[in-house]
Amino acid sequence: MNFKPLKRITFRRNHFIDSIPKDKTILEIGPFYRPVCKGSNVKYFDIIDQKALMERAVSIDKNVNTANIPFIDFVSPIGDLSVVNEQFDVIISCHAIEHQLDLIDHLQKTSKLLKEKGKYYVVCPDKRFCFDYFINKSSIADVINANQEKRTRHSLKNVIEHLGLTTHNNAKKHWFGIHGNIENNSERIANAIKEYNKNEYIDVHAWYFTPNSFIEIINQLHQLGYIDFKISSMQRTPFLQHEFYAVLEKFES
């Protein structure tokens, strides 16, 4: 591997966020009600605007502090970054990359939005320690297939997986082998199919990674000429946590 690990004995998300240069222009993708970056140098992209994010947050948790939800500078209902008309020194996404319809297209557009020597900071759930435990890892074939299909909504497969095949989201339990089960889930699957057949956009996970599979897919996409990103640093999932951290930089093929 040609990247360097982010060295911390007990690594946490705040350590990763602290490594982002705060004097640079920043675009945060998918901040929802907990943006990781704030300041006059930060702009935000999401699939819905600030008002809709507030409504969604309250529907999930009536006690949520909606004051934390920032103004969304760029909005695309299908997560299309081409609506962004500026370039940035830093782009960050926190639990957003796994939602992208077309991972290749997302990485290509992210690259175009970065200035020279810009970096893409990624916080991504590790499928082994979250509700995606029972879902298979995404493969390079899955990623290329989505790109060829030029998807504008998530596949039926993704909707069934997310709404019908997920388990609990307690990272500590997963670390100790307590994964729950997905038995007797026929009703959940049937409801997922009904939701899909409404022909409306449903925001679900499309990609399922471990740190190793993420590294492998990014490397393969670069070798195949799909993207100009390589991983320059990586922090694998810390003990009892559910996410890993990567920094992507542009490199010529």
pTM across the whole model: 0.91
Q: Which domains does the chain have, with CATH numbers?
A: 4-250 (3.40.50.150)
pLDDT attached to residue 79: 86
Residue 47 CB: number of other CB atoms within 10 A? Answer: 19
- Residue spans of the chain under pLDDT 70: 1-10, 253
- Quote the mean pLDDT of the chain: 93
- The helix-helix angle for 211-223 and 103-113 (nearest 10°) equals 70
Using an 8 Å Cβ cutoff, are 100 and 206 in contact? yes
Using an 8 Å Cβ cutoff, are 203 and 195 in contact? no
pLDDT attached to residue 9: 46
The strand pair at 229-235 and 243-250 is best described as: antiparallel
